Amino acid sequence: SNAADQLRTRGEAANDIRSKKVLIIGAGSLGSMIAENLMRIGVVSQGILDADLLQTGNLSRHALTMTSVGHNKAAALVEHLNRILPDASARSFSCAFPPESEVAKNSLRQYDVIIDCTGDDGVLKSLAAFDWKSEKIFISLAMTWRAEGLFAFAASETSFPVTDASSRFNASASPEIDMDEARIEGIGAWHPVFPARADDVQLWAAVGTKFICRVVSAPGRIYEYFKQMPDGTVEKEPHEYGSG
């Protein structure tokens, strides 16, 4: 039956990613929830990279809790992930990307799937400049202002196609930023008072996790923009992926 086939396809998508080593760059609200989703699906081999310390302001929408405040986000998240499953083997990189040490660089090259959850253009440029030495599945996920939308970009190549990714992110129907509000709130997802609620981040973490599983099963250059409707349902914005 069609329903059984769909379930099987979904199960196989999870199977494909379970065998992969996954690196998540950015252990903020979105990255932490995606890492937790992947671990619970059975992606036991994860690397988490983040140079920041967890602040109290992050807690309203983060997988971590009060006990981790003041600790490095990557290290604290890895401790949490490794308590989820008996065979969990997550490891942390408490640094910015790219790391300065050659040892750390070589460790990062061992990962099959590279997921950027930073929402930072500079990181995309660094992903492109880094010598990965083999083909990787690259995925970049970013929430828009107020978490009204999610950009999702993927490519399976030896280097991250930053020009393509950036132009697609920039061309998306991103909601207008209310500058008065932005001044009060502090611009950018990295700011502790970025106006996104926990349920918004969980929604995009779920959509993002499904995107990741789908891409790992059928790699290629994929770009999608998801939008949250006022009633909380999600629509995928139609777009043509032209050649070029």
Q: Are 139 and 211 in contact (CB under 8 A)?
A: yes
Q: Cα 197 vs. chain centroid, distance in angstroms?
A: 17
Q: What angle do CA 128, 133, 139 make, to 5 degrees?
A: 45
The binding site for AMP comprises 29, 52, 73, 97
SS3 221: coil
The binding site comprises 29, 52, 73, 97
* Residue owning tokens 């992969």: 20
232: its two tokens? 């909380």
Nearest to 23 by CA among 116, 105, 94, 143: 116
